[in-house]
Amino acid sequence: MRVMVTGAQGCIGAWVVKRLIDRGVDIMVYDRDLNPARLSMIASKEEIDKVVFEQGQIEDADRIKTLVKDGGITHIIHLAAVLMPYCQANPISGGMINVMGTLNVFEAARDAGREVRVSYASSSAVWGPEEAYEKRALNENDPLHPATHYGVFKQANEGNARVFYTANGISSVGLRPWTVYGVGRDGGLTAGPSLAMRAIANGQPFTIGVTGFMDLQYVEDVAEMFIRGAIADLPGAHVFNLAGEIVSMEQLIELLDKIRPGAAKLISAAGNQVPVAFRMDATAIHEKLPGLPQTPLEEGARKSIEIFEKLRG
Ligand SMILES: NC(=O)c1ccc[n+]([C@@H]2O[C@H](COP(=O)([O-])OP(=O)(O)OC[C@H]3O[C@@H](n4cnc5c(N)ncnc54)[C@H](O)[C@@H]3O)[C@@H](O)[C@H]2O)c1
């Protein structure tokens, strides 16, 4: 077993790599960024030295094909992408990275000459705003009405994954995280909760740039779900909602104040609700992949603040 992790220098990727190192798995990182800055926050130098780092663009189809084929890759966890604000401002370049990049990964799996299973990051942004739906938890059979280019790109990837299964037999698992939080999360529209936890650890004021509700999912749990999605014996092209804990930004600030009294004086929230429905039914993933971790928000926030405090030291 040899796993390629694309976008592994990012927030979720760093935790995926850390958990794969803990499992003793052979890992190849593929990312345009060579600096393991986020991984260094959670793994030792000796651990990082076990990983092979390949620098490259996800748009480079030939390079990815060669690495997968000649590098003996058996599983790909595909996370490389640009996030919602970038795609909204740069739809062409965003599409090249998020859609063409995902096609490159699937083509590499198709042409590897051995079975290669793929798990890849879709997003809850495939759902439209809350107002587009009845007030109930949405399951994978409900219609998608994405309101952003980013969401449309992710929907396209889910469709392409389906066709790679029906046409080429490539099995895949696509996951739709909502807001992933924890150490390493520092970019994108929904990074606010993690940046607030970091600010609390540093004793600094911080304003979360959105208001309203989010479904918060602890990064280590989400990383484990991507790994389980890749290694599961699950033929077909599967797509799963993820669900963590839904909180308003006021409730989040209250919780952070409970964990570190005084935090409410440092943290505020201003801006709009994220334009994505936030009530997700995640029954399907727990049925297909039993035993997935589900860290309560209070515990995940506490762990994150503790790591940020250690890093400050
Ligand atoms: N973080 C969340 O809350 C969240 C929610 C839903 C979906 N997702 C999806 O999960 C995946 C990982 O998200 P994240 O939060 O870790 O993002 P991140 O921004 O922290 O990491 C993305 C990584 O992709 C790499 N990358 C970007 N463009 C690239 C390119 N052209 N070629 C090669 N590498 C490139 C970056 O260098 C970075 O290391 C993404 O696909 C994202 O859309 C994240």
CA quadruple 246, 12, 144, 172: dihedral, nearest 10: -130
Over residues 226-255, mean pLDDT: 98
d(CA 9, CA 54): 11
Token pair 């739809």: residue = 91
- Residue 212: CB atoms within 10 Å: 15
Token pair 């979720």: residue = 12
Residue 10 near ligand 1, beta carbon < 6 Å: yes
CATH, range 2-181+216-244+275-294: 3.40.50.720
Q: Is residue 7 within 8 Å of residue 58, measured between CB atoms? A: yes
- Which residues pair with residue 218 across a beta bridge? 181
**Residue with the nearest Cα to atom 28 of ligand 1?**
81
Q: What pLDDT score does 68 carry?
A: 98
> Ligand 1 centre from 187 Cα, in Å?
9
Provide the percentage of residues in the chain whose pLDDT is more than 90: 98
pLDDT above 90 for 57: yes
Q: What pLDDT score does 246 carry?
A: 98
> Ligand 1 centre from 188 Cα, in Å?
9
Q: What pLDDT score does 188 carry?
A: 87
Q: Which of 275, 285, 297, 305 lies closest to 211 in space, CA to CA?
A: 275
Give the pLDDT confidence of 203-235 residue by residue, as tens digits: 999 999 999 999 999 999 999 999 999 999 999
Domain map (residue ranges) of the chain: 2-181+216-244+275-294
Q: Per residue, what are the HEC states of the chain? A: CEEEEECCCCHHHHHHHHHHHHCCCEEEEEECCCCCHHHHHHCCHHHHCCCEEEECCCCCHHHHHHHHHHCCCCEEEECCCCCHHHHHHCHHHHHHHHHHHHHHHHHHHHCCCCCCEEEEECCHHHCCCHHHCCCCCECCCCCCCCCCHHHHHHHHHHHHHHHHHHHHCCCEEEEECCEEECCCCCCCCCCHHHHHHHHHHHCCCEEECCECEEEEEEHHHHHHHHHHHHHCCCCCEEEEECCCEEEEHHHHHHHHHHHCCCHHHHEEECCCECCCCCCECCHHHHHHCCCCCCCCHHHHHHHHHHHHHHHHC
Residue 108 near ligand 1, beta carbon < 6 Å: no
Give the pLDDT confidence of 75-103 residue by residue, as tens digits: 999 999 999 999 999 999 999 999 999 99
pLDDT above 90 for 114: yes
> Ligand 1 centre from 274 Cα, in Å?
18
> Ligand 1 centre from 262 Cα, in Å?
33
d(CA 165, CA 175): 16
User: What mean pLDDT, rounded, does the chain reach?
Assistant: 97
What's the Cα-to-Cα distance from 40 to each of 17, 186, 219, 252, rounded to whole Å?
Answer: 11, 15, 16, 27
**Helix 297-312 and helix 192-202: axis angle, to 10°?**
50
pLDDT above 90 for 313: no
> Ligand 1 centre from 233 Cα, in Å?
25
- Atom of ligand 1 minimally distant from the CA of 180: 3
